Amino acid sequence: MPKFKLIAMTTPVAGKEDVFNEWYQTTHLVEVCTLPGVQSAQRYELAAKMSGADNNQWMALYDLELDDPQTFLRALGEAMSGGKMTMTDSIAPGAYTALFTERGEPVVAA
C-alpha cells in the first residue's frame, strides 16, 4: 500500500504558545489520527535553521498509508467543514501544509 508523509509547518500566535502546544498535542494530532489512512503523528520543534525562508518554528509529521490520498484529503475537508475538527486561534498566519508520496527505499547509515 502506498505510503505518504503529511507535513504541517506552523508557528503559534505570540502570547498563545501554551494554548497552541496543548491544542496541537492533545486535540489536533488525536483528531487527525482518526482520519482514513493515518498511522501516526508527531510534533517537532525547530532546533536549528539551516537554509530557506520558512519562518515556522513547529512541524507536525503524519504517516499515512492508503491507496488513494484523495480519500484522506476528502475526509479532512469534510471533518473541517462539518465541525468535526477542533480549530484554534493560536496558529499564526503563514502555516504551510503539504502531502508527499514516498519514493524509493530508506537509506540507512552504515
| Local structure of residue 51 (DSSP, 8 states) | S
From the candidate CATH numbers 3.30.70.100, 3.40.50.1970, 3.20.20.70, 3.40.190.10, the one assigned to the domain spanning 3-101: 3.30.70.100
pLDDT at 54: 87
10 Å CB burial of residue 108 (0-12, 13-18, 19+) is exposed
What is the block-wise mean pLDDT of the chain (110 residues), using blocks of 10 residues? Answer: 96 98 98 97 96 93 96 96 95 96 94
Where would I find the beta strands (DSSP E) of the chain?
3-10, 38-45, 58-65, 96-101
In single-letter form, the type of residue at position 103 comes to: R
Domains in the chain: boundaries: 3-101
Determine what percent of the chain falls in helix, strand and coil, rounding each to the nearest 5: 25, 30, 45
pLDDT at 53: 86
pLDDT at 25: 98
pLDDT at 80: 94
